[in-house]
Amino acid sequence: MGKLLVVTTGATATFRPLIAATLDAKFLRGIVKLGYNRMVVQYGTEVPISRQFYENCVAQLAELKYIGVDVGSSRLEHYKLVVEGIPYDPQFVERFVKLADLVVSHGGTGSILDALRLEKKLVVVINESLMDNHQLEIAEAFSNIGVLVYASDVNELLEKVHEVENTTMAKLGPSVGGMVEKVILQEL
């Protein structure tokens, strides 16, 4: 049986470089080699702008003849991999993250906590374009306690996916509130 990789770009600003990186042919070949047969990309709230960006990335893959594409449904199909793009969904955690074998996320604290509370393998990709951004500090703090792996640049994504796949990650534990508060306060 295959594995599910879930990508979340968050509920506010669409993290376009993360979408583009996960829809790169090299990345897709890499995750197939790791046993993934399904990827769900949550492309953001800026519908239809975010959806159009996602579909443009999909169309570029079709031009490479890597994947057969039905852009109208935001779904890619290849004999080894199905990729589905969806807009922001308030039930995303329940519908997708809960079922994921791996989560690739922007560095927002809410998305990080959603994955960690469900004890999912997690790769956080820092969005350096945000002003007064504390994503790096928060990701570093969680990485230091061994619960996630982070990429400070989208170009490191496939390498970090391999890293998290080959590492036994620590679990956050049931007393999430106190530990999270401590990590965030240390970084602010």
- The 10s digit of each residue's pLDDT in 12-23 is 778 999 999 999
Q: Model's pTM, two decimal places? A: 0.85
User: Tens digit of pLDDT for each residue in 76-87?
Assistant: 656 678 888 898
| 147 contacts 172 by C-beta, under 8 angstroms | yes
Residue 87, both tokens = 């807009």
Mean local confidence (pLDDT), 40-60: 83
Structural domains of the chain in order of their starting residue, each with its CATH number? 3-187 (3.40.50.2000)
B/e letters for 83-120, b = 16+ CB within 10 Å, e = fewer, are: bebbbbeeebbeebbeebbbbbbbbbeebbbbbbebeb
Tokens linked to 60: 């570029």
